[in-house]
Amino acid sequence: MPVQLSIADTEKAISNRLVKYIETEYFGKTPELLSRCEKTLAAPGTLFQKPYLEATKAYQLADGGIGNAAVPERIKAFLQNMAEKDKGVFAQPYSHQVESLESFWNGCDVLVSTGTGSGKTECFMWPLVSKMAGEAMGLTDRRSSWEESRAVRALVLYPMNALVSDQVGRLRRMIGDRQGSFLDIWKNSVRNVRRPQFGMYTGRTPYAGDARNKQRDKEYAETLRKDFGELGEGDKLHLSETGRFPEKKDILAYTDVIAEGGDGWSSLDTEMLMRFEMQRHVPDILVTNYSMLQYMLIRATENGIWENTAKWLERNPKERILLVLDEAHMYKGAAGGEVSLLLKRLAARLGVGMGRFQFILTSASIPENHEPVERFFEDMAGRSASNLRIITGKEQEVIRGSRILSAKDIVAATGAGNDADTSMMRLRRFLSGIGQPVPESMDEQMVRERAGEELQKIERFGALAEILRRKTMTLEEVAEEIFKDEPEAVRATDILLNIAALALDEGRPLLPTRMHLFIRGIQSLTVCADPRCIYAEKKDDLPLGKTFINGSAGHCSCGAKTYELATDRTCGALFLKGYANPSDDDFFFWNEKPVGNSEIKALSVMPIAEDSRPDDTKTGWLNTVSGKIYRDDHHGQSHFSHVAFSFDQPKDMDGKKMQFTTCPKCSGRLSVSDFTTKGNEPFYNVVAEQFSLQEPSSNPEKLWRNPNAGKKVILFSDSRQAAARIALDLTESSDKDLMRKLLCRAAYDLYREYREEATVSAVYPMLLKTVSEHESRIFYGNDRTTIMGKIEKDQRKYENPRRFKKTISRR
């Protein structure tokens, strides 16, 4: 097991990466300004906060598991068989999972609200699958209804496509399998009837249109063949185990039929892939989002789905459609109203009342007062909440051990160690340090279980678990709560959390803990305009007073006005940003735009040394208290700053701004930029650092299958457009970062191996050689084709040092 960084080390690494990026990108040309700001930038509260820690709540296991559940015996046996075959049912389920199953079979509507990672999905998946089995067994109405009628028996509704795709993966793993284990369970429990089938019906489902299209059929069949049909058996099995392989009985046979415009459907399939399959054969389980459901209720192409479902409901008056609303907290306000009306339209389309739906809703959090929750359900479901069962789970009681260890004892137990130590080495050293050594022959799983046992005997660990499951706190706050004023309290708390993250309790992580690290960029950089400000951080050559990071324009404690600071990124020239009415006389330079005066325009002025006399540039003296700029000399007077300015209005400013057309410092084209952090590149730096800090997997299978050794970062955004923008920006930032590293490596190797200076002509072939040796992916589309063609052409030169030496020497 590779090394795992502590909470303090992780925070330090991520925050340092962000700070260094901001310093380099925004202050790289202004070292004196950076010298003033670097202490504030590196302090918590400016660009980052101290991280908050939160432990996942532990819930009570159900006594006796599924075996003691109050459900029909045949359903119980069916689910126990699934648990034995590891088909998404657990031998030791949580009490709320069993409670949800029991409530469903008692005919109740169910709302489950438990914490993240508590198994909420199983709270509707087990009822959903058992409902299919129950109808096929004849437990809910007539057994023959399962074979007689194709109908949507369960509708799983999500607010967005990403969640739909995740649910499809779970369904594939649960009721679909290439090894046939689910089908064996189904046949043994239900006898010889068809298996349940599901389909994902969203905008991504191939393909839109009222009729089949030969060309699109061929394209889709070819895509399936390339992506799945031509894979080796090992890759197919891996994708199937992770829910990413379409659950067709024979994917190649299916693609052949589809390519010829045929149906392709089989009763032995678990999954329907195309819209036309679902329109013709109707899946038992339909997974979609509410936007697509609206279209499906309007369009004629989906009429068959609803007509068949309506007939099934009519013929079987005891049957109800199971309606699952996952992430129900997202259906609030106007969106909730739309979904409520949509469900009423669905009932009307099926010719039934809302009583023919049985609801299961899940949410990560609900208020302790259940009255508003019941009103929410009544508004959503269109009926009374009298039959609603609200399940919040039973938290597992933390049992504090009796062993007393001080902070110093815990720190001493881990020993000094070194950076090369793996997490498993640290775990073994900790166990030895507390007097519970484990033999070298003990495997990783057993060591982690032993660590879990020993941690639970320590009184301070019990206090730690109890606190973090109750509320979020910083590492320092937790240390204060547990160890009070003991020396080494913070480090000891960090060690306990790291050991707990590795330790297991009956196969489950002992104390899963999330770290919430809040970051931001610079919102603004303002500065006191008085060069004699007594509160200035340092005495330097900048004709400016105290700097304020993330402060708005106003006044400094010395009495002078503060202005937003801007710079020319090319040379580092600094400007004060304000507003003025162009005049040949004295004028006011406001730090905030006055209201109601259309003549006022933005103006950038450049603070300069008192004795400076630049040529061809207007200068004046800014009264830093009043904000008025005087044309006559005020050299040496208190609260006056020497400034240069221009009333020129560059064409690209649309007459809204006044500034120099060329920079007074470097004489280049001026582009004034403030210090507000922009774009997604700072975010990329944080993500890249977080990714690099992760432990790579020690599992040989994962190392072989995953180029990043199992490391990953999942990003969420609040809109589709923002997500697309972030994905593109992060890709571009990553490519730039990679290119910089490749160029540095190429230049270094060029001199080390060939004693050649890093000229552009010599670096280019060396860069291609470096890309080849490291198997790096650079560029896209035609650019990538060109560069890879060049590398392939010169491959033999790379393998022959003498030939390659001639190549770079000729250039």
Reported as a single tens digit per residue, the pLDDT across 475-489 is 999 999 999 989 999
pLDDT tens for residues 195-230?
Answer: 999 999 999 999 888 889 999 999 999 999 999 998
> What span, in angstroms and rounded, lies between the C-alpha atoms of 243 and 167?
9
Q: Is residue 447 part of a domain?
A: yes
Residues in the chain: 811
d(CA 257, CA 504): 49
**What average pLDDT does the segment 76-82 reach?**
96
Among 43-52, 594-603, 763-772, name the most confident range: 43-52
Residue where the block lists tokens 């340090």: 433
Is residue 253 included in any domain, yes or no? no
- Least confident interval from 248-257, 357-366, 692-701: 692-701
User: Higher model confidence: residue 707 or residue 184?
Assistant: 184
pLDDT at site 285: 98
Assigned domain for 215 exists: no
CA distances from 764 to 531, 753, 792, 795 (A): 49, 15, 15, 14
Is 70 exceeded by the pLDDT of residue 541?
A: yes
Q: What is the mean pLDDT of the chain?
A: 91
Q: Report yes or no: 501 and 509 within 8 Å, Cβ to Cβ.
A: yes
Residue 417 pLDDT more than 70?
no
Q: Are 439 and 494 in contact, with CB atoms under 8 Å apart?
A: no
- 467's tokens: 């606190």
Q: How far apart are CA 651 and CA 661, in angstroms?
A: 10
Instruction: Decide: 392 and 114 in contact? Cβ < 8 Å.
Output: yes
Look up residue 719 and give its DSSP letter: S
Confidence of residue 2 (pLDDT cuts 50, 70, 90): very low
Element (H, E) at 658: strand 657-658
Q: Which pLDDT band, with edges at 50, 70 and 90, does 471 fall under? A: very high
pLDDT tens sequence across 791-801? 888 888 887 87
- Answer with the one of 641, 674, 707 that is the final residue of a domain: 674
Domain enclosing residue 750, as ranges = 720-810
Find out whether 8 and 16 touch, Cβ atoms under 8 Å: no
Q: Is the pLDDT of residue 811 over 60?
A: no
- 645, with CB counted inside 10 A (0-12, 13-18, 19+), is buried
| Cα(433)–Cα(427) distance, integer angstroms | 10
Tokens 């590196």 sit at which residue? 42
Both 297 and 420 in a single domain?
no
Is the pLDDT reported for residue 753 higher than 80?
A: yes
Considering the domain architecture, whether residues 283 and 348 belong to the same structural domain is answered as yes
Residue closest to 75 by CA, chosen among 168, 171, 186:
186
Q: Examine the pLDDT at 596 and tell me if it is beyond 90.
A: no
Express as a percent the part of the chain with pLDDT over 90.
66
Establish if 804 belongs to a structural domain.
yes
Lowest mean pLDDT among 372-376, 599-603, 794-798: 794-798
**161 and 91 within one domain:** yes
Query: Residue 1's pLDDT band (boundaries 50, 70, 90)?
Result: very low
- Does 579 sit behind a cis peptide bond, omega within 30 degrees of 0 on the bond before it? no
| Rounded Cα–Cα distance for residues 486 and 363 (Å) | 41
pLDDT per position as a tens digit, 447-463: 999 999 999 999 999 99
3-state secondary structure of 579: strand
Distance CA 461, CA 451 (A): 12
Distance CA 704, CA 690 (A): 22
Q: Do 595 and 574 share a structural domain? A: yes
Q: Which residues pair with 325 in a beta bridge?
A: 157, 361
Reading the block at residue 623, the tokens are 């009264």
CA torsion 118-123-129-132 (nearest 10°) is -170
SS3 272: strand
CATH code, domain carrying 340 = 3.40.50.300
The answer to the question of residue 216 being in a domain is: no
Q: What is the mean pLDDT of residues 701-730?
A: 81
Residue 235 has pLDDT above 90, yes or no: no
pLDDT at position 241: 85
Indicate whether 478 and 539 sit together in one domain.
no
762 domain-assigned: yes
277 and 344 share one domain:
yes
497 and 406 co-located in one domain: yes
CB 53 within 8 A of CB 497: yes
For position 418, what pLDDT does the model report? 62
Q: Are 378 and 406 in a shared domain? A: no
Q: Which SS3 state, helix, strand or coil, does residue 411 take?
A: helix
Nearest by Cα to 124 from 116, 134, 112, 114: 112
pLDDT higher than 50, residue 57: yes
Q: Which pLDDT score is estimated for 718? A: 79
Which of 779, 726, 729, 773 lies closest to 748 in space, CA to CA? 773
Q: Is there a single domain that holds both residue 759 and residue 670?
A: no
4 located within any domain: no
In sequence order, the β-bridge partners of residue 576 are: 565, 605
Over residues 415-431, mean pLDDT: 79
User: Does residue 499 share a domain with residue 350?
Assistant: no
Residue that is last in its domain, among 391, 422, 457: 391
pLDDT confidence tier of residue 10, bands split at 50, 70 and 90:
very high
| Domains in the chain, number | 4
- What's the pLDDT score for residue 544? 96
Separation between Cα atoms, residue 686 and residue 717, nearest integer Å: 16
Lowest-confidence segment of 310-319, 326-335, 419-428, 781-790 by average pLDDT:
419-428
Rounded alpha-carbon distances, angstroms, from residue 110 to 60, 156, 323, 627: 19, 14, 10, 66
Both 451 and 536 in one domain: the answer is no
Percentage of the chain exceeding pLDDT 70: 97
Residue 128: partners with Cβ closer than 8 Å, 6 or more residues away:
154, 156, 285, 322, 324, 360
pLDDT at position 714 over 50 = yes
SS3 of 4, please?
Answer: coil
Q: Report which of 25, 38, 22, 36 is spatially closest to residue 572, judged by C-alpha positions.
A: 25
Do 491 and 537 fall into the same domain? no
